[in-house]
Structure 1
């Protein structure tokens, strides 16, 4: 059999490529051929027309929408999540095989309903409301992350070059000296700050995009910009995106004359959607959301001592719990969203989340080195890769260990990550970069204690997982009690 597949996760960093590798290995083991397109954060190389034409079936393993779906028209399609592809790639191939054999005789001649290019993000069809809501939100976050990365790293770099007072520098359009390091620091700070102004509009625009396609982009961006104007911030962007998507989705249900239908997506829907969302955000819901955002900001600013440590422990435990899954993404999204606030507490939360996310792969990699006999050869091989994944803040590097022994591994890494999160908050480490792991250490505030927090969590995870595995091994090796003699 010949297959083509597309894999895509919300952040496009780890699960996308792990799912692709799992499908490729399963196809090779079954003697089948497969070509996989990874729609990740680094872009993708599209499947060739020949691959698509010659495929017996299509596998879409995605937690967000798949770009250019219309090219698969007429082909049997199997849809799944990236986690299903990672955990049961042979099962997906078997589903695709059955779908190919059950293909209607005229399927090959089917044509797409429209020649308009497919959207870059849609919700998987048939999903429940909760799943769709998560996919809508994560689509917005995935498009926002590059702006956070660019802006946050530039601002952090400007602080490293010119100190925190660089924010008071005059505009570089009025005063810039190419020979001055301070001028370059000011330039980096002002570029980064401009990048940050797009965070909320991009978030809102692409949440709306995920709900109602391209006509919702303009209302979403407008709603996000108004959220910034009225002080509703990140929460306002979330609401504006959902509101814009719902408004456009509702307007698209109205039947219009054929002569008007052609201008609906590019003129009428963006116009009416922007008007409705703008009025609601300015007049009705903007200010209440701004008050809620202000309360959240005040709460974060007031965190100190035990409260800060408790929050760090909770976020750290969430990051480790499902290693890139929905719970992990909730904690990560909360931290990234806080970067738009920009106060010290928000930067401390980002630092705690990233530090905690590095712990599971690093702790398990260390454990597989210290007591290799407690791990399978495949786990020891995964441990060698987990060093780099952990250092890069790719928590998914712990998945191969957790999949084989979840009851011992998951509690161990959860406690270790919670330890790191609590210590990082207690030490007051700060970070503006939303990704990068240990490689953005020069941009961390209080970097020495930040490293201490990470090492402490790694040590805790290592000790706990080795203890749990050794305990389980001892019980397995314990001889069964001799049966009592039966009297004659």
Structure 2
């Protein structure tokens, strides 16, 4: 199968932003009738992997990612390369860049030079390039720190000295837990270093990055040494690649197995060794500074952490605080991460409280989202607050900053320790002073939620939005919505036919019109055929997987109806995927009822999003099966 647009999404943690961007892009494409496939780079690895055939056939590529997604696959394609947050907030703008061919061509300089093309070339800012490489290292490091931190924390539950064979608290199981967790934490710096280098210089960078990272860890440079080592290694390997270009092509195999490793480790290894001393000093100085801040200025520290975490909720500023907290865990500092976690948990829970405090001022869907955010927040997924913040960022974000700062300040005042960088309330058993930590988070969330809710009430009153209870809203919807519960009003066994023989699209339209005339649905078959054809001129109604949904709104239509044909043979329809059409779901709407028209289209389109429904349509062998399927789906 081919797609007009392909995309790749990814964020450092690979939990929320990655899949929110995927959903936003797919929804925006679906509304515009554009075929799209989105590859996700989450914590479970790469899903819905793009094949080379799909890449070759696509008009362009959207990369909404804050980590490396192997962009070199897309050389010569039109590529939009943005942060993952843009994929969530501006999916239509990204689609337009591909459709209108305004997106630059990625790494097409050689071809452009040889053909005289003046196409703009894909360029990436230095800052974004550095950020993407750093986040690639963080995304691979994070699971290691989570696993190691939790193992060590569990071992401490047996006693603070339970892993020490010389202590009276010694416990053999705790010893093994602590040892295994410690080994995992020791891998943090090498993995961080290696995958930063891999983002810059691919596989040769990865190999040397592990070695340089081990040197950084051995010499006690901390995570700062890992970061510096990763970037240094990546650019050293790129430099070597430039120098080795002059070598004969027959030596390409020798480059990867001998030249890059030997020269890379010689240069990067010695460089890392000599900068280890100052990096170690800087790392220790930072640790001492934060420790003194925690003890003497918890309010200032909490204020800074709270503002950073709520500023962009998963974006670069948030990640700066999060990465610092995560890295400090490996040095035994569990206090800093406690404040960061509290500040990250507050925003989604705050929006949940807002919908409780000002429920009537929110729509039904917003109230539902608010309730879901209690769950998201409790598991440390900050991104649930983004839809609320996006609507009124200049008001909501400052309110969230206040709540996050309160939570972080109280956490530092209470001297809470959190040894795991993720998990939210799931890791409560290994948190010191867990009830005080929950109290700090709830205090911040309630304050933020109150401010956000009161602001929403003022907005609703200003706009004269009628505050309708959920039950009344449902009643109004029931009165105004079309009576799809009685499916017999718009379709019947008489308007569903299987094994229909037609050679062309116009023959299908003619037979639909004749069927409608026979059952008193229309007055003029010719006018209906013309209506279908006019609609096809605007854009094809041929969807994907052999299904078309032609529709027309005409005065010659006496009553709304859905007529379904299952064709004996496929008919050319100029469908989105280029495949012939075998199932035609046609809609006839009386003039002046455009809202009905859109309603029917919307409901049928929702059905066709689900692969199960499509499969059932194709496997149906008689009119009764098809009617039963639509009766179930449209009445649900």
CA distance in 1, matches of 2:104, 2:350: 47
Aligned counterpart, 1:307? 297
SS of match in other structure, 2:297 = helix
**What is the aligned counterpart of 1:281 among 263, 269, 272?**
272
Matched, 1:336 2:326: yes
Structure of higher CA gyration radius: 2
SS of match in other structure, 2:100 = helix
- 1:309-332 Cα deviation digits (max 9, x unpaired): 321221122111111111101010
Aligned counterpart, 1:126? 123
Give the superposition deviation at 1:82: 1.6
Bigger CA drift: 82-91 or 397-406? 82-91
Aligned counterpart, 2:198? 209
SS of match in other structure, 1:213 = helix
- TM-score, normalised on structure 1? 0.85
Matched, 1:145 2:152: no
CA distance in 1, matches of 2:142, 2:82: 24
CA distance in 2, matches of 1:58, 1:102: 10
CA distance in 2, matches of 1:101, 1:164: 57
Aligned counterpart, 1:236? 225
CA distance in 2, matches of 1:377, 1:216: 51
Give the superposition deviation at 1:83: 1.6
Matched, 1:158 2:155: yes
Pair 74,218 (structure 1): closer, same or farther in 2 beyond 3 Å? closer
SS of match in other structure, 1:47 = coil
What pairs with 1:30-429 in structure 2 (closer than 5 Å)?
A: 30-47=32-49, 49=51, 51-52=54-55, 55-67=58-70, 69-70=72-73, 72=74, 76-99=78-101, 126-160=123-157, 162-169=158-165, 182-254=171-243, 255-258=245-248, 259-283=250-274, 285-342=275-332, 346-429=333-416
Pair 352,461 (structure 1): closer, same or farther in 2 beyond 3 Å? same
- Is the contact made by 2:192 and 2:227 (CA closer than 8 Å) also made in structure 1? yes
Aligned length: 446
Q: Which runs of 5+ in 2 are unaligned?
A: 112-120, 465-636
Give the aligned CA root-mean-square deviation in angstroms.
Answer: 2.7
- Is the contact made by 1:382 and 1:400 (CA closer than 8 Å) also made in structure 2? no
SS of match in other structure, 1:44 = strand
Pair 373,99 (structure 1): closer, same or farther in 2 beyond 3 Å? same
SS of match in other structure, 1:164 = coil
- Is the contact made by 1:320 and 1:328 (CA closer than 8 Å) also made in structure 2? yes
Kindly indicate which of the two structures has a greater share of residues assigned to strand.
2
CA distance in 1, matches of 2:363, 2:79: 36
- Is the contact made by 1:8 and 1:66 (CA closer than 8 Å) also made in structure 2? yes
Q: Which runs of 5+ in 1 are unaligned?
A: 111-123, 171-179, 478-488
- 1:369-425 Cα deviation digits (max 9, x unpaired): 221123244432321321221111111110000111112211110000000001001
- 1:285-325 Cα deviation digits (max 9, x unpaired): 11111111121222233344451232122112211111111
Give the superposition deviation at 1:250: 1.3
Higher relative contact order (CA 8 A, sep 6+): 1
Give the superposition deviation at 1:97: 2.1
- 1:71-115 Cα deviation digits (max 9, x unpaired): x56654433332221111122222222339999xxx9xx9xxxxx
SS of match in other structure, 1:78 = strand
